[in-house]
């Protein structure tokens, strides 16, 4: 018939201006959180070989990176400490003068309330065995003994000035333990970003280099089985019942379906962590000339937003803003 086809979706793809006008998913600086590693004994930034472009910061370079994150309009930073010494109980995590808590104070003194300063609340960076909690006499992670330490960590981090704490250890009841400790110590306004859905994953490898992890074995007895979607929703419900303010899915790319299910299930903000292995794959492919790096970064982050994440933790946070500014 004359004029066939009558419906021509290509009209809405005809120019960059048109595509911007009708875009269904946006990627904005405020939606991005930059994870950062601060090493206690570093005199200069130390490159993380498996994560090109990412470093273990000194206290001074961390302050500069936090200031830059605020200038770029990022949503926040997530701080991880890399201590010089570790022990069986991860005592550095509850030490007010431990590297993570010092880094929190540095960041808050640099940017105040103009940028959200978030802190990782887990023991794995501080334990000599590399697990996320203390071990019992049989060498298993002791859930309830670990909860007590998580509560102490939450209070110390809040007192250092953290606006939000990220409960990432995958202990049953961790959100409730931290919420109770925060409220009882006079920190009812400290936000809990709950790693509600954190799967045991092959993509964590580069992160373990980033925090000098001493882990032997795996964390499959407390991180979630990557075959299970219904269990993920159950974990979300438990964390919300215990007082979580934001729920997160980690990793992101292999779990876009889970992000969508969580987004459809809850009425609180949903975050996703674009983790180290996901970052490393793109960087390696780009370094070999196999893909367009800038385009791959934006496509990756947009896919996570499209799946339903309101917030993305990504090592590309600052880089993504610069790429967006160039377009």
Which residues participate in catalysis according to the annotation? 198, 250
Q: What is the CA radius of gyration of the chain?
A: 20
- Across 282-325, where does the E strand assignment appear? 311-314
- Could you please report the per-residue DSSP string of 157-216? HHHHT-SEEEE-S--TTHHHHHHHHHHHTT-TT-EEEEEEEEB--GGGHHHHHHTT----
Tell me which DSSP letter residue 31 carries: G
What is the C-alpha separation between 213 and 207, in angstroms, rounded?
Answer: 8
* Angle between helical axes of 256-265 and 293-307 (0-180°, round to 10): 30
Copy the structure tokens of residue 239. 């964390």
What is the C-alpha separation between 94 and 246, in angstroms, rounded?
Answer: 23
75 close to 310: Cβ distance less than 8 angstroms: no
Question: How many CA atoms does the CB half-sphere of 85 hold within 13 Å?
Answer: 4
77 close to 119: Cβ distance less than 8 angstroms: no
The residues, any chain, with a CB within 8 Å of residue 265's CB and separated by 6 or more, are 233, 236
313 close to 300: Cβ distance less than 8 angstroms: no
What is the C-alpha separation between 188 and 34, in angstroms, rounded?
Answer: 25
């Amino acid at each position: 018939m004359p004029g066939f086809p009558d419906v021509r979706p290509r009209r809405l793809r005809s120019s960059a201006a048109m595509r911007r006008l009708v875009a269904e998913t946006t990627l904005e600086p405020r939606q991005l959180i930059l994870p950062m590693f601060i090493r206690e004994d570093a005199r200069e930034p130390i490159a993380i070989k498996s994560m090109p472009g990412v470093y273990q910061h000194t206290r001074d370079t961390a302050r500069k990176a936090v200031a830059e994150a605020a200038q770029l309009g990022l949503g926040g930073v997530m701080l991880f400490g890399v201590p010089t010494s570790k022990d069986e109980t991860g005592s550095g995590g509850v030490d007010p003068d431990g590297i993570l808590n010092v880094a929190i104070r540095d960041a808050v003194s640099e940017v105040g309330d103009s940028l959200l300063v978030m802190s990782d609340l887990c023991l794995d960076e501080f334990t000599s065995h590399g697990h996320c909690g203390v071990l019992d006499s049989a060498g298993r992670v002791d859930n309830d003994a670990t909860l007590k330490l998580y509560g102490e960590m939450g209070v110390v981090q809040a007192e250092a000035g953290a606006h939000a704490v990220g409960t990432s250890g995958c202990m049953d009841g961790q959100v409730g333990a931290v919420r109770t400790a925060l409220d009882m110590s006079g920190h009812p306004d400290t936000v809990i970003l709950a790693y509600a859905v954190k799967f045991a994953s092959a993509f964590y490898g580069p992160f373990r280099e980033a925090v000098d992890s001493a882990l032997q074995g795996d964390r499959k007895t407390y991180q979630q089985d990557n075959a299970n979607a219904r269990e993920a929703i159950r974990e979300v419900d438990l964390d919300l019942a215990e007082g979580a303010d934001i729920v997160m899915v980690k990793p992101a790319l292999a779990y876009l379906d889970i992000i969508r299910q969580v987004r459809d299930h809850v009425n609180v903000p949903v975050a996703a962590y674009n983790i180290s292995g996901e970052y490393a794959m793109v960087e390696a492919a780009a370094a070999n000339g196999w893909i367009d790096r800038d385009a791959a970064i934006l496509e990756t982050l947009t896919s996570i937003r499209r799946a339903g994440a309101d917030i993305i933790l990504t090592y590309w946070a600052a880089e993504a803003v610069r790429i967006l500014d160039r377009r």
